[in-house]
Structure 1
Amino acid sequence: MKNIIVTGGCGFLGSNVVKKLNAKGQNNIIIIDNYDERKFKNLTSLNFVDYISYKQGITSLKTVLEHYEISAILHIGANADVLEKDADIMMTANYEHSKMYLDIAQDRDIPLIYASSSAVYGNAPKTEKDQNSENPHNIYAWSKWLFDKHVSANLSSFENKVIGLRLFNIFGLGEFHKDENASLPLRFFTFVRQNGFIDVFNRDIARDYVWVEDVAEVILTILEDKSIVNGIYDLGGDNPVSHLEVADIVASAFVAKGIKPNKETLIKKIPLPKELEHSFQFFTKAEKLLPLIAKQTHGNKEKINLYINELLKMHYDLN
């Protein structure tokens, strides 16, 4: 059996993709990631044949991968630190490495499915695939946008499968190491545990959330489905949920389990810091979803609630 490359396979989404591949009988997996002791916890239940650090650089990676037969590349890994200010660091990780995987996939005539981001839309009123609806507002978003532009400009020349997925706000198990870059459901859950209440910005903010289990399933379905036309697609839930609604779901779960007595005391509104005014996404919504994506990703509020209850079971002695 040939190998499947999963970049970012030690991280949040990547490890969930590897887990699903294992469940489907695919254990010949090459994980490409960095060496991070915190993330290694995600590897303990996974099967794979090699683990390669992307930090050895593009030239070295190409040399190592020449020794493997590869059937597909699932390019999930990225520098997702939205607070990163060094453009060279971000572009090398997210643009130059992405072009390398695209070149390998073309040379070997194998599928490349890669993770783009809804961050490319910024605060544009609609998430259409054109320059009028794309408004990156930080270096991370620009790095994702730049590779999307590279793919779009060359799309008609690809003979292999090349699919970009603009991921919206992913939540679910396996993100424990992400700190400030973790999903809002996990961050609000952590706020209650650490501070006793949730800080919510006093602005109208709504995001399109999608469960990591659904995202991983979509990726593998697209890998196997030969009918999907090459292109870049939104992968979200098509149902934005406000920050206040997320806070209410989290607070309600704590009260329902008898851990906290009063929901009203768990939510406090605070001003949005001025430094975030021009670099903050106030609204995201996936548009024109592929039918297979829409079928898989519905019911995000219910899934957020399920996730919070999973976290409660993990952290509290509940009957």
Structure 2
Amino acid sequence: MIVVTGAAGFIGSCLISRLNAANFRDIVAVDDFSHPDKAPNLEGKAIKERVHRDAFHEWLAKHHEATEFIFHIGARTDTTEFDRAIFDRLNVAYSQELWQACCRYQIPLVYASSAATYGLGELGYRDDESLIPQLSPLNPYGDSKNEFDIWALNQPEKPFFWAGLKFFNVYGPNEYHKGRMASVIFHAFRQIKATGKMKLFRSHHPDYRDGEQMRDFIYVKDVVDVCYFLMHHRKNSGIYNLGTGQARTFLDLTRATFHAMNVQEQIEFVDTPADIRDKYQYFTEATMDKLRSIGYDRPFHSLEAGVTDYVQQYLQPGAYY
């Protein structure tokens, strides 16, 4: 059996689709299944068993011999949440208990870290593990992910294979439920469909013109391909960036969305909200040499190709992956 935590969420549900496509059908889906807006993410997928996240550690103690691999994707990911106790419980303590179980039962583990750990990028965006203790995330979510990364690196006992993946700006199908935390592509599609135009944040940084703030946007299909590769690779444990390695502007993204929708471009600029202005990242770009060095050689979708696939195959028909 292969376990996926956060199974009903965005990346977790897409990962199950990727595993199903490769004929892996004994999937154990772990999540809090009480949110009805996530239910469509799992419809039609081959899942052997659903386990509530609060019961999972007990379940694993009973079924570890049949568990081949664990993808720990589940986490509290709201960057606007400032109750650190929530992150301590769901992102740190829960992950620590799972790590220790993987050591005890000798189960390989891939877990979700985040590019939010890099903060404003004062030290760059290199997945150099020696730099991780020096990083300064901008919010409790980023702090929780960095805290677990540091804890994992310092453990004397580790799973025989493990990898932490620093996801950059992931977009794609099955994020319908995420509200404000959904990707800019998702919000652009909704705005353009409703109003025929898109509003972007104005730049408040002298080095960037309006709309030219840059992010490393990665299509979720590329993310789950990397997860699938690591499930088979099972060596070169460590923490890896997962972006495309090429930063693109929000103007690029918005224009690609207009083009995919076959709508004439109309873009307006609004002030960045004051509550996030001092925590706003103007540039992120993953260095991808480390992942490439262990043999991952598949190309990533260009922003234009990813946005076109997302808009035309999923957003316009309201489809799920």
Match of 1:48 in 2: 47
Within a 5 Å distance, the mapping from 1:171-210 to structure 2 comes to 171-203=171-203, 204=208, 205-210=213-218
Deviation at 1:315, TM superposition (A): 5.6
Equivalent residues in 2 for 1:304-319 (5 A)?
A: 304-311=307-314, 313-314=316-317
Structure 1 residue matching 2:317: 3-state secondary structure: helix
* Counterpart secondary structure, 1:178: helix
Residue 300 (structure 2) pairs with residue 302 (structure 1): no
**Aligned with 2:3: secondary structure?**
strand
Distance in 2, Cα, partners of 1:131 & 1:116: 12
Pairwise mapping of residues 24-43 of structure 1 onto structure 2 (< 5 A)?
24-35=22-33, 36-43=35-42
Match of 1:251 among 251, 258, 268: 258
Taking a change above 3 Å as real, the CA distance of residues 304 and 133 of structure 1, as seen in their structure-2 partners, is farther
Q: How does 1:12-161 map to 2 (within 5 A)?
A: 12-35=10-33, 36-54=35-53, 56=54, 60-68=55-63, 69-125=66-122, 126-128=124-126, 129=128, 130-131=131-132, 134-154=135-155, 157-158=157-158, 160-161=160-161
- Any idea what the Cα deviations from partners look like across 1:217-237, whole Å, max 9, x if unmatched? 1101111013x3110000000
Question: For the residues of structure 1 that align with 2:173 and 2:315, how far apart are their CA atoms?
Answer: 12
Structure 2: give runs of 5+ residues left out of the alignment: none
The alignment's C-alpha RMSD in Å is 1.9
State the aligned residue count.
Answer: 301
Contact 2:12–2:73 (Cα < 8 Å) also in 1: yes
Q: Report sequence identity in percent.
A: 27
Equivalents in 1 of 2:109, 2:198: separation in Å? 40
Cα separation, partners in 2 of 1:87 and 1:312, compared to 1, 3 Å: closer
SS of structure 2 residue aligned to 1:67: helix
TM-score, normalised to structure 2's length?
0.88
The Cα offsets for residues 108-139 of structure 1, whole Å up to 9 and x where unpaired, read as 11100001000000111411330486220001
Using the TM superposition, give the Cα deviation of residue 4 of structure 1 relative to its aligned residue in structure 2, in angstroms: 1.2
Q: 5+ unaligned residues in a row in structure 1: which ranges?
A: none
Paired residue for 1:235, among 239, 242, 262? 242
Q: Which amino acid aligns with 1:76?
A: I
Contact 2:108 2:159 in 1 (8 A): no
The 2-side partners of 1:195 and 1:79 are apart by 32
Q: TM-score, normalised by structure 1?
A: 0.89
Corresponding residue SS for 2:241: strand
Cα distance in 2, alignment partners of residues 268 and 112 from structure 1: 44
Runs of 4+ in 1 over 6 A off after TM superposition: none
Show the counterpart of 2:166. Answer: 166
Q: Deviation of residue 273 (structure 1)?
A: 1.9
What is the CA-CA distance between 1:293 and the residue it aligns to?
Answer: 4.6
Q: CA deviation at 1:30?
A: 1.1
SS in 2 for 1:51: strand
